[in-house]
Structure 1
Amino acid sequence: MSDVTEGQGGAGNVRTLQSAIRRVRTAEAERSDVVVELRDAERARLEMLADELKGVFAEVPEDNDTFVFSIGAGTPARLWIDMTSFVVLGRDRRTYRFLKDTRLGRTVIIETANLDEVADCVTDYVAERIIERERAIEGDWVIRRAKREETARRQEEKGIPAPAAAPPAAARSTDRKALGWIAAAFLFGILIGVAVLLGYAWIRVPA
């Protein structure tokens, strides 16, 4: 019995906490290296897509603040197109997934490993959003115009005169200048009258 115990406790089977800690730290470092490499690979592929779309991004009108066009710093890395759509890589780190969040949930617009296909899809999406925005702006203008016409029609039916149109800016400027000259002439006349009175009083007062 003692021989077995001594054999199990021999030098070849000695366990120490330091060696266990060393093994665990080595394994964690290896896993971290793999995670970092995968994260860098994801970002590199998204940067390739961003380079393909650089010309598209540059053509978006400056007054259109709908789009984001940036790679987020989170995990997983995402190429944001606007506030509700982005491109992310699939689990194989090769497939591009163009996703959009809607009121009905997240929708996959396209899923492909082909860089050109996803770039074309994003380009079409940007074009569609720009057209939608232009139509919305035009629709708002049409609605406002229709409301003004409806208000004017109702006022006309009730016999309410339409408000007089404001004079042009050039006419208002001319009127202000004319009023300014009249005021200046009036003040100048007062000054001349005061000067004449003072001169007359100076002559009449005996030395």
Structure 2
Amino acid sequence: MSEAPDSSTEPRPVRLREALRQARIEAADRTGVVVDLRDAEVARLEILNEALDPLFAEVPNQIDLFDRGVSQGETPRLWIDVVAHVVMGRDKRQYRFVQDTRNGRIVLAESHDIGAIVKAVTDYVARRMVERERAFSVTRIQAQASSEVPRRGRVWPFVLGFVLGVLSLFGYALYESLKPISF
């Protein structure tokens, strides 16, 4: 005869409730570490942001290309403008200055040294300001070229057409008035 298995010798199955509790504890521990790393990233980016204050103090107020600030999302970023920002590298100590382009993201500078990143951002800001000046000068030249077209050249064809139209209506009215009336 077979005996009933002894429940004390067999491993007891882990209850789902206990497994969920353990998984939540592990997730909370990992989340705490991730939050600490994110806070460290934000702190490093804010230090870099303060190092950039003298640079942006020199940018004239009428130039509104740059909108600098630290965003605290899943990946903290120090935004320089709409297309360029600084993120922390994989080791969370290296700064990576990147620019989004039509062809993807390009790395403009990468360093552990704040001074190197400040220099790279300074060069970037200077290039953007020169691009802005060129765009405005081209626009100004085009505006001057279009304003130099004489207005007479546009008005005379209208006046000539108007006069010819009036003369042709007058001629038609005269022709109709000179026709013999038939009863």
TM-score range relative to shorter protein: 0.7 to 0.9
For 2:136, the aligned partner's letter is I
SS at match of 2:92: coil
SS at match of 1:92: coil
SS at match of 2:28: helix
Shift of the 5–105 alpha-carbon distance from structure 1 to 2, 3 Å rule, reads: same
User: Following superposition of structure 1 onto structure 2, how do residues 36-75 of structure 1 map, counting pairs within 5 Å?
Assistant: 36-75=35-74
Higher relative contact order (CA 8 A, sep 6+): 2
Shift of 1:102: 1.3
> Which string of whole-angstrom CA distances, capped at 9 and with x for unpartnered residues, describes residues 122-179 of structure 1?
0111111112112211221122222333x13984xx8xxxxxxxxxxxxxxxxxxxxx
CA distance in 2, matches of 1:128, 1:72: 24
Shift of 1:3: 9.5
- Which position in structure 2 is the counterpart of 1:161? none
Shift of 1:7: 4.1
SS at match of 2:80: strand
Query: Which ranges of structure 1 fall in alignment gaps of 5 or more residues?
Result: 159-207
- Which position in structure 1 is the counterpart of 2:144? 145
Check whether the contact 2:99–2:108 (CA below 8 A) recurs between aligned residues: yes
CA distance in 2, matches of 1:105, 1:18: 46
CA distance in 2, matches of 1:76, 1:39: 8
- The structure with the greater share of residues assigned to helix is 1
Shift of 1:9: 4.5
Structure with the greater alpha carbon radius of gyration: 1
- Which position in structure 2 is the counterpart of 1:8? 9
User: Following superposition of structure 1 onto structure 2, how do residues 1-207 of structure 1 map, counting pairs within 5 Å?
Assistant: 5-9=6-10, 15-149=14-148, 151-152=149-150, 155=153
- Which position in structure 1 is the counterpart of 2:177? none
CA distance in 2, matches of 1:29, 1:112: 32
For 2:77, the aligned partner's letter is R
SS at match of 1:98: strand
Query: Which ranges of structure 2 fall in alignment gaps of 5 or more residues?
Result: 157-183
Shift of 1:15: 4.4
Check whether the contact 2:42–2:72 (CA below 8 A) recurs between aligned residues: no
CA distance in 1, matches of 2:74, 2:133: 34
SS at match of 2:24: helix
CA distance in 2, matches of 1:2, 1:92: 60
- Which position in structure 2 is the counterpart of 1:185? none
For 2:93, the aligned partner's letter is R
CA distance in 1, matches of 2:147, 2:25: 75
For 1:128, the aligned partner's letter is R
CA distance in 1, matches of 2:9, 2:118: 64
